[in-house]
Structure formats: structure tokens, C-alpha cells
Structure 1
Amino acid sequence: MGAAAARRPAPELTAPPLDYTYDGTFEGLLTVLFTVYDWRAAPNSIQPEATAQTGLFAQPAHRETDETLATRVWEGLLRTMDPEARARLYHVFLSEDADRELLIFRYVDLALRAAQDISENYANADVRRVQRLAQMMFREKHRMEAFVRFEKTSDELFHATIEPDMDVLPLIAAHFTKRYADQRWLIYDRRRHYGLYYDLTRTDIVQFENPAGAKSTDISAAVLDEREPLFKHLWQAYFDHVNIPERRNLKLHRRHMPLRYWKYLSEKQPREQPFVPIQNKQAIAGKEVSAGLKQLPPPE
């Protein structure tokens, strides 16, 4: 028997709708989803408690996060959808879309009541929206993995600052942990005020407390490795030398590397030294050949 035939049908939501609030975590949202079906009360709204907006006489139903219930819901979703479809729900949550909580509820409710897999039911607006947000999240994750630029500090820590449109740090942790397993690094999300720190053994989520008005991402030149300016110059020189001005296509370039990323890219910063082409050619018999290379004899 298939999973759809084996599972029990979702209970009807017959109680008056409620305005739910939670702590803003994905586990908290999963706890709310359990509560919706436990109380048989559909949500009028689902909002993080810190930013909840309710009516004058409305009494929000706050739910504390329950890790056991959240795990039960997360594992139970596999009875209604495959792992890839379930992962898309987490990506929708990280997208920070204004309607993400209710969108996830509607998608889950649709899956619970459908007789077959809904992941490709693109006639449904919620399914299309979930797919669209998941695609946007994948692109943002891919760009962050490509555009992160580290600076080395005097204590051998590699630091990078990012400011993505979506909360991608949980999705890029595995990539950087595997790629830079032999060095300590910190990636800080300036917009969301938290980061990932790898200490050569594990990667943890870290947060910083700063004095009012301080910028947690500003690194004093005094704490940077003395060779860091050289590394930056070498990277800029490499970028300039592989550039082909005749093939410049600024419109295509901005599509693949949007302007919002440029302020954190070393190659996009002002040059402290002017670009000088590599002088590795010499004229021989009216032609230019690379220095050090022998000129081939003409064909017979």
C-alpha cells in the first residue's frame, strides 16, 4: 500500500479560527502546525511573537516550541510528501516571505488531504508559490557559495561578511565546512546579526552583542594579517588580467553577479595600485610572441 493510502486522513478543522504566535523558529512553526490539528482550529494568522500584529480585541494563541512535537511533525510529513518536497518547506521558511507561515500551513494541509503527491500540482497557486520561493532560495544559496570573500586576521581566522536577501546561512554551512575544513573561519550575516563559526572541529551558529551603534562587521586594519593587503591586491590583479575588455557585457555580468553583492567582493573594490598589463611579449620579425617561447619554423 502507498503512503497516501496508509495514512489517516487529516482531522477537519471545525473549531473557530485562531491567531497563532510562536518564537520565530522553524521548530516553533512545526509546533504550531501540530497544535492546529490537535485543537481542530485553523489559523487566521501565524506570526512570530516579537512582531505579531493582532486586532484590538483579539487574543493570540501563543505556542511554546516543543522539540518532540516538532520532530514528530517533521518526520510525519514524509508520509505525505517525498524528502525533496519536505525540504522545500524549510527553504520557504528561510526565504522570509511575508506570508511564509500561512503558505506552509496551506501546502501541508493540501498534502494531508490529497490522495496523491501534490508537489507537481502546478494548477494550485500555493504549490506554484512554494516551488518559486524554493528556486529563489537555491539561487541565493548558490551565489553566496560563489561570492563569499574571506579576509585573514592576525590570529589566523578567516572572516567574511554577507548580506543576502534570504536567510541562507543554514544552507551554506555544509559547503564551507567541507571546502575549508583545514582553517578557522567566520561568515557573518550583517542583515540578520548572526553568523557561522568553524573551529576546525565543528560549525556553530554564533551571535554577537555590540554597544549601541557599533557595527559588528567592521574589522579594524590592526587585527588583519599584515599580508592581507597583498592577498587582496593579488586577487584584484588576477581578476584584471583574466578580464577580456573586448568581450565585456555589463548587462550579462550584472545578471550573474548582481550589484548588491559588489560591496563585499574584493575584485569590485577601488584599486590601490593602477592596473598594468603583464609585459610578457616581445616583437620578433614584426610579430609579437610570448617571452621565453621559441618561434616555430614555417611549414614545409
Structure 2
Amino acid sequence: MTTLLYDGSFNGLLTAIFIAFEYKMYDCSIDTKERYQATMFDSPETVMTDKLKAQRVWEGLCKKVSNHARREFYYAFLSGLPGIEDTLLAYVRYAFQNNSTIEKNFANSVVNMVSQTAHSVHREKHRMEAFVRFIRLQDDLYCAFISPDFNVLPLVASHFQDRYADQHWLIYDRDRDYGIHHDPQTRLVSDVIIEKSTADTSLSTTVHEEEVAYQTLWRSYFDHVNIQERRNIKLHLRHVPKRYWADLTEKTAGV
């Protein structure tokens, strides 16, 4: 079986899907170069990202499904789950083979999988928008460190760009070694690649002298508004899962 290897980008995936259709590869798989593990039965082929080919696939999908369905398609891609590329290829095949809309056909396992995955990514996006905590550094750069289950940085960028338009900030994804950086002068958000060791060192050595006081103040406020008689640990964990606590100021002991 042929395995098409792409660079991990969304345009790269769409290019691989175009190749699968162009060469009528009915029995093929798609995987990232980074994640791929060769087997004796595979015949890997590297796909070079081509924006024109990617655009043709996307435009074809636009004619077949709604904006909501295309958003789910993109959200499912951002999940980064093993095998999600094959699911999305099957989704495109199914969409192109049907004259009617497919997005509500949850009896189909592929449509249901894309919808369920997109829902999980959307929920993680909202949690990141709520749980991000910035730390002020000496150069007045506000940094936040997150470890989401999925690659949600492209989805939360506009939220923080609108909310903190006049501030210089960086949100860094530890698990994926990249972040989004906002420049208040240009009002633009850009991707930046940062090594984890560099990010951890910067956080521990360049924290602004006033940051500790602000964090102490915030924890004090959090403790005082917390009514002990109304504590409901199960409900609290449902809304604030424990895996997020390491990055929440009110849950940590300090910088």
C-alpha cells in the first residue's frame, strides 16, 4: 500500500488528498513525515506541498459541504490524532461521491468520527481561552505556557488578539514546541518556533519583579471568594480538569 507523506501542514494534507485523487489511489494512506513508521508492506512517497493543488481540493469541498462542515474538517485536522488523515481523505471521497450534503449523516462512521473529533477540539479551544494565564517578564512581554491535548493555537489566536490588542504577548505550546506572538505595534499575530529548554529558562530567569506580588494578590483573591461550605470537588474537576492546574496561577505555589 502506498503511504503519502506530507509536512504536517493543512495545505500539505490537502495536497496529499489531491495526489490521491489525481492518480486514483484507492488503496492509500496519508501520514506526516515526522510520525510515519515504515513497514515491509508500505511504499512511502513524499508529497511536496502545493498551494494551488490544495486550493483546488478546498474549493471542491466548498461546493459539497457547508461552512460548518468545513470548519469541522479543519478542527478534526488540528486534533493531530493518529490516522486522522485517512479519516479526512475518506470524508472527502464520501463528499465528492454524493450529490446531497453528507454532514448530518452521522450513521456514516467517517462523518461521525470527524464530527466527534471536531467537537473535542472545539471544547479544548474554549478551555484554553478560559485557562490561559499570562506571566509578565522583565521586557514587558506577557508569556503563557499551555499543554493542550490538541493543536488549538491557530483557533485561539483571534480571541487573544482582540482581547489584548495593546499588549505584547506570547502563548507557547509546550507539547508542540511553537507559539503565537502578538506585536502591539503591528497588531499582527505570528507563529514562532521555540525550543522547550529555551522557553523554560526564559520563564525562570526573566520574570518581572512585580509578577510575584501580582500572583500572590490573585491567589489571595481566589482564596477569599472560595466559599468552603459550597465546595463541590466533582463539579470543580468537571469544569477545571486537573491536567490544567499546573498552568493556573491560583493552583500553583508561585513562580
- TM-score, normalized by length of structure 1? 0.81
Using a 3 Å threshold, how does the CA distance of structure 1 residues 122 and 58 change in structure 2: closer, same or farther? closer
1:148-167 correspondence to structure 2 within 5 Å? 148-167=132-151
- Percent identical pairs in the alignment equals 43
Alignment equivalent of 1:232, drawn from 215, 218, 234: 215
For 1:23-102, list aligned pairs within 5 A.
Answer: 23-56=7-40, 58-102=42-86
Deviation at 1:215, TM superposition (A): 5.2
Distance 2:230 2:20 in 1: 57
Map of 2:240 onto structure 1 = 257
Task: Give the whole-Å Cα distance in 2 for the aligned partners of 1:265 and 1:190.
Answer: 15
For residue 189 of structure 2, the aligned residue among 195, 200, 203 is: 203
- Structure index of larger Rg: 1
Report the Cα offset of residue 59 of structure 1.
Answer: 2.5
Amino acid at match of 2:237: R
Q: 2:30 aligns to what SS in structure 1? A: strand
Shift of 1:221: 4.8
Shift of 1:127: 1.1
1:288 paired residue number: none
Take 1:24 and 1:220, find their aligned partners in 2: how far apart are those partners? 29
2-structure distance, mates of 1:95, 1:186: 22
CA distance in 1, matches of 2:209, 2:42: 59
Q: Tell me how far apart the structure 2 counterparts of residues 61 and 243 of structure 1 sit (CA, whole Å).
A: 57
Find the aligned partners of 1:267 and 1:219 in 2 and give their Cα distance: 21
* Residues in 1 aligned to 2:96 and 2:135: alpha-carbon distance in whole angstroms: 48
Q: Which moved more, 1:74-83 or 1:168-177?
A: 74-83
Distance in 1, matches of 2:222 and 2:207, equals 22
- Deviation per CA, 1:127-153: give whole Å up to 9, x if none: 111111111011100000000000111
Q: Secondary structure at the match of 2:104?
A: coil
2:3 corresponds, among 10, 13, 19, to 19
Unaligned runs of 5+ in 1: 1-16, 273-300
CA, structure 1 residues 110+57, in 2 after alignment: closer, same or farther (shift >3 Å)? closer
Aligned length: 253
| Deviation at residue 222 of structure 1 after TM alignment | 4.3
Cα gap change, 1:43/1:220 in structure 2, threshold over 3 Å: closer, same or farther? same
Q: Distance in 2 between matches of 1:253 and 1:260?
A: 13
Q: What is the TM-score normalised by the length of structure 2? A: 0.94
- Cα shift readout 1:65-96 (whole Å, capped 9, x = no counterpart): 00111122112211110111011111111101
Task: Report deviation, 1:219.
Answer: 3.5
Q: CA deviation at 1:241?
A: 1.2
Could you list the per-position Cα deviations for residues 82-114 of structure 1 after superposition, in whole angstroms to 9, with x for gaps in the alignment? 111011111111101111000001111111111
Q: Which secondary structure state, in structure 1, belongs to the residue aligned with residue 26 of structure 2?
A: strand
CA contact (8 A) 2:2 2:45 kept: yes
2:131 is aligned with 1:147: yes
